[in-house]
Amino acid sequence: MLRPSVLFLAGLTAAVSTAPAQTPGTTPRDTVLWGAIIAAEDARADDMRSLDPLVRGVQSPDPFIRRLAVRALGRFERPALVFGIAPLLSDPDPAVRAEATNAMGQAVYRGDASMVGTQLMARLIGERDPGVRGVIAQTLGRLPYRLPDEIRTAETAVLSVASDTGAALYGAVRGIESLVRRNVSSTPPSPSTIARLRELVAARGPDTLTLRVRHLAMATLVAAGRLDTGLATQALRDPDSEIRRLVAGTNFVADSLPAALVAVLNADPSPPVRFDALRAFGRRRLATDGCAVVLGAARDTNPQIALQALDLLGNRCGSGTESAAAFLAAEARRLRSTLADTGWHRPAHALVSLARIAPDSAERLLQLYSRHNNWFVRMYAARAAAAIKDSATLRRLAGDAQDNVREAAVTGLVAVEGHGADSVYLAQLIREDYQLLRTAAQALDSTPDTTAAVALLTSLRRVSREQRETSRDARRALLDRWARLAPRDQLEGVLKFYLSDYDTLIARQAADLLASRFGVTYRPTPKPLPIAPTPTPGDLLALDRWTATIHMRGGGDVVLRLRPFDAPVSVARFARLLRAGYFNGLTFHRIAPNFVVQGGSPGANEYWGDAAFARDEITMEPHLRNRVGISTRGRDTGDAQIFVNLIDNWRLDFNYTIIAEVVSGMDVVDRMLEGSVIERIEFK
């Protein structure tokens, strides 16, 4: 008997090959089938009943429906589905062909590029639509190649499209950037590719597409390590700040053009350029050139640059270390003792750096910080206490009311006391925060404490009863540490119980532990939690008419235009949560300058979010500056935390769901600091 997946592929291939040609837009959209496609994609199942909407979708006379269906097939990331996707490469509608091309690449995300590379190259020969040619080129560039010959063949094909213009050129340069970034260590780009990239960097034009091509070309040259003095000098004077930023942060400039780097750091009008220049200086020049330049940057009017400089001053810089310590001590003494959302960042960063280079000075200030009303300040106090090896303060902070403070203290105690503080780690296992539980469980690895196994299992069972998918990382750590410590006669029964866990990865982990300890193969039989209802087409059409406005405490609004057709399930959940007031009062807990800001966690950390995981909804849309994505910790682990791209983050493409874009208020996003508070989010 044929397996359901085989029957599905046969039916899909037959359906696609006989689909009637239709003029795009002449057929009304089938909202019932549209909704069924959304539900089938979200279920990620492979039985015939759940996959039937996709079979019907690729037969639809409506190109909109065909595009959604083939996109869903790619999002499954199953190489076997390539055979069902491939026929849509010749669809009469260019948008469907482009989506099918991208779906081919997504289907082999973890697979073998050879499955699709040859088909895409063959399709490229006859494709005339510029947009589709661009998508073929960018897909060829991002495939997971295994052999240098495959990479060279793909490079030749993509480079042939790089002689086109417009959308085709843009897609080709996206493909080259991916190809080089992923493979430069094993297969450097050819001289022909480097020459074309240099031509594109030199091209000028006011249109957005030309600017993005320039940025991609320069980013690729940087990734390839192909800067030279002439190109770097010219780039540092370029009127385009993104070109300057890409080059200012390189080791090449720091090593070969240090005077130019300092000039950029002191005078460039763009804060992102100065920030990356400072990072490059700290990485390559601080030890030899001293603290003077970084001390100057610590007075920069841009807070992110100043904070980065304060962090760098925690590294010894020769004879300048004494002056750096005096400066840091003065900054650390500026902390006010009252609760405040702002005003604590400079003193807190200064204290941690001071603790690293002048521990005696930091110790005199530590009590003010460790007893401060603002928990962010106490968290930095724990980091400073770890640097000066103050066990007493760390142990006190490990009993703090705020779990992020506890987590920082436990992390410090692991470094300072190791298993001497096992009783402190064990005390954390009754807490709720998943980041803290994960850290405490990891700290108990190989503990000699005979009570640890019982405490770990008790914590694991308690958290498992909550049936929150977002507890996965904490539960995996608890299960692993318990299995290492538990008596052999208890292992089998407990691990067999978790073979049928609601989380597939926990069930697999239990099977792996059984195999490693008993040498017996068990088949995991997970029982997943029910899937939440998916949004209807009517819901998505309504969401498309609204914007979401993030009102920040202290002033400033960030207006988001949602993308419900690109990420229907993720956008619908975001809308549902903000209507319920879920985000009100939460923070942006992660500020990564020249990368992203991230927030929306009730625990103000990476490990606490909405209970259920959302499946990734990957599109061809690039992670440009102002795009809003869903944070994850691996595939299909979105927990409603969001991030905003501060720059064009090409390396995030095809990996993270985009739910919106900022249409107003990026200046507010740029000014965010750690702990910036979301007053509320509302629809308008």
Bridge partners (DSSP) listed for residue 676: 588
Q: Is residue 511 part of a domain?
A: yes
Task: List pLDDT tens digits, range 267-287.
Answer: 999 999 999 999 999 999 999
Per-residue confidence (pLDDT) for residue 342, from 0 to 100: 74
Task: List pLDDT tens digits, range 292-343.
Answer: 999 999 999 999 999 999 999 999 888 889 999 999 999 999 998 666 667 9
> Mean pLDDT over residues 439-465, rounded?
97
Q: Is residue 439 part of a domain?
A: yes
As given in the structure block, the two tokens for residue 509 are: 């982990």
Per-residue confidence (pLDDT) for residue 21, from 0 to 100: 37
Contact 601, 608 (CB under 8 A): yes
Question: Quick count: other Cβ atoms within 10 Å of Cβ 237?
Answer: 10
Question: Quick count: other Cβ atoms within 10 Å of Cβ 238?
Answer: 17
Per-residue confidence (pLDDT) for residue 102, from 0 to 100: 98
> Mean pLDDT over residues 405-412, rounded?
98
Residue 49 pLDDT more than 90? no
Number of domains in the chain: 6
- Let me know whether 644 and 545 are in one domain: yes
- Let me know whether 376 and 496 are in one domain: no
pTM of this prediction exceeds 0.75: yes
Residue 122 pLDDT more than 90? yes
Sign of the torsion angle spanned by Cα atoms 74, 75, 79, 84? negative
- Let me know whether 512 and 645 are in one domain: no
Residue 4 pLDDT more than 90? no
Instruction: Report the chain's terminal Cα–Cα distance, integer Å.
Output: 55
Q: What span, in angstroms and rounded, lies between the C-alpha atoms of 577 and 640?
A: 9
Per-residue confidence (pLDDT) for residue 23, from 0 to 100: 38
Per-residue confidence (pLDDT) for residue 9, from 0 to 100: 53
Nearest residue to 411 via CA among 70, 428, 104, 121: 428
Burial call 31-55: b when 16+ CB within 10 Å, e when fewer: eebbbbbbbbbbbbeeeeebbebbb
Q: Is residue 28 part of a domain?
A: yes
Per-residue confidence (pLDDT) for residue 2, from 0 to 100: 36
- Let me know whether 5 and 79 are in one domain: yes
As given in the structure block, the two tokens for residue 270 are: 């763009």
Per-residue confidence (pLDDT) for residue 540, from 0 to 100: 95
Band of residue 46 on the pLDDT scale cut at 50, 70, 90: confident
- Burial grade of 468 (CB within 10 A; 0-12, 13-18, 19 or more): buried
Domain assignment of residue 458, given as a range: 417-529
Nearest residue to 196 via CA among 225, 228, 160, 167: 160
- Let me know whether 168 and 203 are in one domain: yes
Task: List pLDDT tens digits, range 9-33.
Answer: 555 544 443 333 333 344 457 999 9
Q: What span, in angstroms and rounded, lies between the C-alpha atoms of 438 and 436?
A: 5
What single DSSP character describes residue 291? S
Amino acid letter, residue 583: F
Q: Of 407, 438, 460, which residue constitutes the final position of a domain?
A: 407
Contact 649, 549 (CB under 8 A): no
As given in the structure block, the two tokens for residue 121 are: 């190259």
Q: Is residue 601 part of a domain?
A: yes
Tell which wins on pLDDT, 246 or 30. Answer: 246
- Let me know whether 219 and 233 are in one domain: no
CA 647 to chain centre: 13
Q: What span, in angstroms and rounded, lies between the C-alpha atoms of 307 and 328?
A: 11
- Let me know whether 349 and 273 are in one domain: no
The residues, ordered by sequence, that sit 6+ positions from 9 with a Cβ below 8 Å of its Cβ are 80, 81, 83, 84
Q: Of 379, 407, 435, which residue constitutes the final position of a domain?
A: 407
Per-residue confidence (pLDDT) for residue 12, from 0 to 100: 54
- Let me know whether 193 and 248 are in one domain: no
> Mean pLDDT over residues 438-442, rounded?
98
- Let me know whether 544 and 603 are in one domain: yes
> Mean pLDDT over residues 117-138, rounded?
96
- Let me know whether 500 and 599 are in one domain: no
- Let me know whether 521 and 559 are in one domain: no
By percentage, how much of the chain surpasses pLDDT 90? Answer: 90
User: In this predicted structure, which of 108-117, 190-199, 579-588, 599-608 has the lowest mean pLDDT?
Assistant: 108-117
Bridge partners (DSSP) listed for residue 559: 549, 664
Q: Is residue 99 part of a domain?
A: no
| CATH number of the CATH domain containing 585 | 2.40.100.10
Q: Which long-range contacts (CB under 8 A, 24 or more apart) does 284-289 make?
A: 284/251, 284/254, 284/255, 285/254, 285/258, 285/261, 286/312, 286/315, 286/317, 287/315, 287/316, 287/317, 287/318, 288/318, 289/258, 289/317
Per-residue confidence (pLDDT) for residue 26, from 0 to 100: 41
| CATH number of the CATH domain containing 300 | 1.25.10.10
Question: Quick count: other Cβ atoms within 10 Å of Cβ 5?
Answer: 16
Residue 344 pLDDT more than 90? yes
Q: What span, in angstroms and rounded, lies between the C-alpha atoms of 87 and 597?
A: 41
Q: Is residue 163 part of a domain?
A: yes
Q: Is residue 670 part of a domain?
A: yes
Q: Are strands 547-552 and 676-683 parallel, antiparallel or unpaired?
A: antiparallel
Q: What is the mean pLDDT of the chain?
A: 94
Q: Which region, left, alpha or beta, applies to residue 524 given φ > 0 means left and ψ of -120 to 50 means alpha?
A: beta
Band of residue 6 on the pLDDT scale cut at 50, 70, 90: very low
Q: Of 483, 499, 529, which residue constitutes the final position of a domain?
A: 529
Band of residue 165 on the pLDDT scale cut at 50, 70, 90: very high
As given in the structure block, the two tokens for residue 638 are: 């979105």
Query: Which element (helix H / strand E) includes 664?
Result: strand 658-664
- Let me know whether 658 and 543 are in one domain: yes
By percentage, how much of the chain surpasses pLDDT 70? Answer: 95
Residue 482 pLDDT more than 80? yes
Query: CA-CA distances (angstroms) from residue 504 to 76, 115, 356, 472, 498?
Result: 16, 28, 43, 10, 10
Q: Is residue 666 part of a domain?
A: yes
Bridge partners (DSSP) listed for residue 587: 601, 677
- Burial grade of 183 (CB within 10 A; 0-12, 13-18, 19 or more): buried
Per-residue confidence (pLDDT) for residue 318, from 0 to 100: 82
What single DSSP character describes residue 597? E
